Amino acid sequence: MKGVNFCMPAQWTAEILGEMHLAGITAKQLAAEVGWHEKYLSAIMNGHREPKGAEETIRAGLERVKARQIVDAHTE
């Protein structure tokens, strides 16, 4: 297809999305946790951007949100 710029997301982004789904974490929550705009996180997750350290930053942010959910569940 002429003029179409197709990007293939990295495999790790699918793993992150799966974990987010299972934990009920939104992209908005994750973006806020890592200090990025939602659209920037979306661009990374969809393979349009590939900044250095993105996978590590996102994985760490996801773990922090998940840990906070556990703590919150125990304090309710």
Q: Which amino acid is it at 47?
A: G
How high is the pLDDT of residue 75? 81
Distance CA 36, CA 48 (A): 15
Cα separation values, 33 from 6, 7, 60, Å: 29, 25, 9
pLDDT on residue 36: 98
Determine contact, residues 19/60, Cβ cutoff 8 Å: no
All structural domains of the chain: 11-75 (1.10.260)
Binned at pLDDT 50, 70 and 90, residue 25 comes out as very high
- Tell me the per-residue pLDDT of 58-75, one tens digit each, with 9 for 90 and over: 999 999 999 999 888 878
